[in-house]
Structure 1
Amino acid sequence: MKNYVKEGDRTTYTNSTGTDIKSGDPVVIGSTIGVACVDIANGASGAVALEGVYTLPKTAGSSGHAIAQGDIMLFDISAGEFDIKTATDAAGDILGGCIADSAALTTDTTVNVRLCGPGAIQTGA
């Protein structure tokens, strides 16, 4: 094909967040959540995975919720953590775009997240 560019499981991301991103960190690109494949210094570019299942930070304790396999995830952009879709959202949080690949308890600090496309940027409750 003359119009083929590349496989779509990764993209090159330029970090303009003001802080360094570590390999394995969630990365928000518009309304899509990816995972950094490498360390990406502020101002530098690096690979971000857009597909797959990753163990990522989860809101735990009294602020978090139990998560069932298949639950739609909410990414709390300020905390850098995932919770269930019914959690209270804030402006900039991403709803959807990820589902829980396995269950997690309220007290768990991580959850296995399946990246599955763009979500919806929230305006806040």
Structure 2
Amino acid sequence: MKNQYQVHCDHIDVALPYARNSGDGALIGSMFGVCANGGANGADDVLVVKGVFTLTKNSAEAWTVGEKVYWDNVAKNVTTTATSNTLIGVAILDAANPSSTGVVRLNGSFS
């Protein structure tokens, strides 16, 4: 098909908005994903926008299965606090308080 831009819609080619490592989350506008390779601010990378990932979370929160989770672009972690943050998906496992990571099913990148 002549007008198809990209075949795999769960992986988006991007320039990183800030320095990231492989497996870190990143927000570009309202598009959230997990960095495949990582790199410096402005580096080319692949953002994985669909799937289930273990991500850094606000360690002072407890999560329950099915709870909405948001990206805090200031702290660069996942939180249950909606205010000033971007909806990215849901928790698929309980996460204790304290704990540094949680398992998230991404909502496909758009809130």
> Is TM (by shorter chain) over 0.5?
yes
Q: Distance in 1 between matches of 2:38 and 2:32?
A: 16
Q: How many residues align?
A: 109
Measure the CA separation in 2 of the matches of 1:7 and 1:88.
30
Structure with larger Rg: 1
Normalized per residue, which structure has more strand?
2
Q: Which of 63, 81, 95 is residue 67 of structure 1 equivalent to?
A: 63
In the TM superposition, 1:11-90 aligns within 5 A as: 11-17=12-18, 20-60=19-59, 64-84=60-80, 87=81, 89-90=83-84
8 A Cα contact 1:12 1:48, kept in partner: yes
Of 91, 94, 97, 1:103 maps to 94
Moved over 4 A (4+): none
Task: Measure how far apart 1:97 and its partner are.
Answer: 2.5
Over the residues paired in the alignment, what is the CA RMSD in angstroms?
1.6
d(CA) in 2 for partners of 1:9, 1:16: 19
Q: Are residues 88 and 47 of structure 1, via their aligned partners in 2, closer, same or farther at CA, if it must alter by over 3 Å?
A: closer
Unmatched runs of 5 consecutive residues or more in structure 2: none
What percent identity do the matched residue pairs reach? 29
Q: 2-side partners of 1:44 and 1:81: how far apart?
A: 20
Gaps of 5+ in 1: 120-125
Contact 1:76 1:89 in 2 (8 A): no
Cα offsets for 1:38-89 (capped at 9, x unmatched): 02222221111011111101111xxx321111110022111111121xx363
**When the two structures are superposed, what TM-score results if normalisation uses the length of structure 2?**
0.87
